[in-house]
Structure 1
Amino acid sequence: MAAEARAYEGEFHGEAAVWLLAGDFEAAVLPRVGANLIALRHKSRGYRILREPEPGEMEAFKANPGVHGIPVLFPPNRYEDGRFPWKGKEYRFPINEPARNNRLHGFVHTLPWEVERYGADGGEARVVLSLRVDESHPIYAYLPHRFTLTLVYTLSEEGLHQQIRVRNDGEDEMPCLLAFHTAINAPFAPGSKAGDCRVKITVGKRWEMNERMLPTGRFQPLGPVEAELPASGISPYFEEMDNHYTAAPQDGRNRMELTDSRERVKLVYDVGTGFKHWMVWNGFNSGSFFCPEPQVNLVNAPNVSGLPPEEIGLIGLEPGAIWEETSRLYLIDLK
């Protein structure tokens, strides 16, 4: 028998939300705050898988919505001097990291998205959200292309499924630069501690970064503990992490696995092989959450010379073209 499923409009700490319920799972997405999927919970076990703002933190969250839930970054991460070249043009973005003179995290995680539809059937609850950019949209002044971003979140008794689609609606080739700044609670189970958590991520090489947190184009060796990140796994808090890696899929899958040894359960974040890079940030070694961030492109990719576009994820979409990828978040019991 299919799990009971529902989708409905409600609130999350006073902010308009679309809630999805399926079996023991529930999720909430905030259309007016970047279509951020702000909560993913397993009700009977009390798990809070994503980092959620508390009621008194909502104003601070809306002012800086990049470190809770699943923010959409487009274009993601840092761009040197707020500029990058593309097909003979230079795009200029406002600086929002003045200490390093970079543009950080793009635009779309702070903007309202449209709810196309929501509903439930066959044990699944679903919401479809979109952001359409044309000459009338404020983003167009900085990214002068007509395009549509579409997010589909589907919740079932198997967990959360995400589909992201970028469609070029214009007449010029456009860059497709995208990531998710996914904030995972570690631990996510009540009663567990940081020491109960071990993380494995399918990372490959680590990019060397300069003092502005921009890649030099070279790699640096992994430390002896860090080298176990793609193998047996390590503590997500073994040291302060703000590291950028190539993705190195294993068994055809590109994923993060967070194991709670006390609960004997594993959280899997399977992000699809279209994401060629990982950023891993642990909130200044917070001890409570970390961000395994799947990225299409290398940080500052359009400004990096001498490396193949395919290697750095510098993807162009011709007029009418669509880029699409899927991800999943789900649990595996190890008992």
Structure 2
Amino acid sequence: MTVHSKAYEQPYYDEPAIWLEWGPYQAAVLPRAGANLIAFRDTEKHYAILREPAADEMELFRSNSVIYGIPLLFPPNRYENGTFNWNGRTYTFPINEERTGNHIHGFFLDSVWRVEGFGSTGQESFVNLSITIEEDHPIYAFLPHRFSIQLRYSLSANGLLQHVIVKNNGEEAMPCMLAFHTTINAPFAPESLPGDYRYTLTIDKRWELDERMLPTGEHQPLLEEEELMKSTGLSPYWKPMDNHYISDVNASGRNAMELTDTREGVTLVYDAGTAYKHWMIWNNDATPGFFCPEPQINLVNAPNVNLPPEQTALLALEPGGIWEATSRLYFRSAK
């Protein structure tokens, strides 16, 4: 039996997009808007897994794309006063969060990516994208390194696969700090309600954050409800969350968020992969609709935190070095 599979160019409202289809699944990525994977859907069950902008929200999306789809953050989250010293160099970023006086979320949210190719086979539909930072690229002024990032998204019987590669093309080491601000709808099923949803997350400890939302270097004990994140789960909206955790892969060997729709009897698995040593989780002040489990390589503000690299997970990517990881979104029957 032949499975429906194709990849094609077609605008997402007024934004150029590459669309993927395989079986019941459909996805769209926006090359000129940070390579944001803006849509992942099950068209047979009418599931909309990621938060998408409506037609009249495209300008809002372009002004605040971090809360739609799967945007890439490099470097991720907040950096104190927009500056840090690393490997004998001072990095200075613009202050773009007035409330905290920090830089937040890096420089790739509105970047233009190159489409290297797209297509479909009997096994998958896929798109390959890349961005290369050289001396003449605007991002080089803030991250003065020659490097490239490659993204590959594919759809298959196993759901949505994401493959990311960072390569240092320069002659000196560079800090490799990356995350995805993944924005998950809850509910994702059209007939379900927010109260039908529970999630689990592979976490260990919670980092203490100061009034500027920066880690102090200390840990805080998990609340009773947070302990449920490690076992039976709880509502994504149990309380306002802008929390930072250490990943825990010891028990299962996996690093994943699992969101169960108890009415539909299905679980969305977001297996981020063990290369991501930290999670941020944000739920828009506990407003039902969507929440963001964000897999992150490094501790927030890592270069400014007086802890060893094995705790901050601040990676030094050597000249010619490659860092890569894969993540997957898929469904299984609820337990």
Q: What TM-score results when the alignment is normalised by the length of structure 1? A: 0.98
- 8 Å CA contact 1:80–1:214 kept in 2: the answer is yes
Give unpaired runs (5+ residues) of structure 1: none
Q: Which amino acid aligns with 1:272?
A: G
Map 1:17-96; keep pairs closer than 5 Å: 17-96=17-96
- 8 Å CA contact 1:3–1:157 kept in 2: the answer is no
Displacement of 1:226: 1.5
1:179 counterpart residue number: 179
SS of equivalent residue, structure 2 residue 75: coil
1:302 counterpart residue number: 303
2:281 counterpart residue number: 280
Distance 1:14 1:201 in 2: 36
1:149 counterpart residue number: 149
- 8 Å CA contact 2:281–2:291 kept in 1: the answer is yes
2:99 counterpart residue number: 99
Q: Does 1:328 align with 2:325?
A: no
1:7 counterpart residue number: 7
- 8 Å CA contact 1:242–1:282 kept in 2: the answer is yes
Displacement of 1:123: 3.1
Q: Which amino acid aligns with 2:253?
A: G
CA 1:262/1:223 → structure 2, altered by over 3 Å: closer, same or farther?
A: same
Once the two structures are overlaid, the 10-residue window that deviates more, 149-158 or 289-298, is 149-158
Which portions of structure 1, spanning 4 or more consecutive aligned residues, are displaced by more than 3 angstroms? none
Tell me the number of residue pairs that the alignment of Structure 1 and Structure 2 aligns. Answer: 334
Map 1:199-218; keep pairs closer than 5 Å: 199-218=199-218
Q: Which amino acid aligns with 1:270?
A: D
Q: Deviations over 1:101-145 (max 9, x none)?
A: 100000012111111110111231000000100100001111100
Distance 1:218 1:311 in 2: 11
Displacement of 1:157: 2.4
2:262 counterpart residue number: 261
Distance 1:31 1:330 in 2: 23
1:311 counterpart residue number: 311
Map 1:130-145; keep pairs closer than 5 Å: 130-145=130-145
CA 1:2/1:243 → structure 2, altered by over 3 Å: closer, same or farther?
A: farther
Q: Which amino acid aligns with 2:273?
A: G
SS of equivalent residue, structure 1 residue 166: strand
SS of equivalent residue, structure 1 residue 225: helix
Displacement of 1:2: 5.0
- 8 Å CA contact 1:4–1:123 kept in 2: the answer is no
Q: Does 1:193 align with 2:203?
A: no
Q: Deviations over 1:237-290 (max 9, x none)?
A: 000000000000141110000000000000000011000000000011111100
Q: Does 1:123 align with 2:123?
A: yes
Distance 2:287 2:179 in 1: 22
Q: Which amino acid aligns with 1:55?
A: A
Displacement of 1:232: 1.2
Displacement of 1:9: 0.2
Distance 2:159 2:286 in 1: 28
Distance 1:92 1:210 in 2: 21
1:241 counterpart residue number: 241
Distance 2:121 2:163 in 1: 18
Q: Which amino acid aligns with 2:89?
A: K
SS of equivalent residue, structure 1 residue 60: helix
SS of equivalent residue, structure 2 residue 170: coil
Q: Which amino acid aligns with 2:85?
A: P
Distance 2:79 2:2 in 1: 46
Q: Which amino acid aligns with 2:143?
A: L
Distance 1:168 1:263 in 2: 45
Give unpaired runs (5+ residues) of structure 2: none
Distance 1:71 1:2 in 2: 33
- 8 Å CA contact 1:2–1:123 kept in 2: the answer is no
Distance 2:92 2:161 in 1: 34
Distance 1:312 1:2 in 2: 47
SS of equivalent residue, structure 1 residue 66: helix
- 8 Å CA contact 2:194–2:288 kept in 1: the answer is yes
SS of equivalent residue, structure 2 residue 252: coil
Distance 1:265 1:326 in 2: 23
Distance 1:333 1:246 in 2: 28
Q: Which amino acid aligns with 2:329?
A: L
| CA-based RMSD | 0.9
- 8 Å CA contact 2:260–2:334 kept in 1: the answer is no
Distance 2:47 2:234 in 1: 21
Displacement of 1:158: 2.0
Q: Which amino acid aligns with 2:237?
A: Y
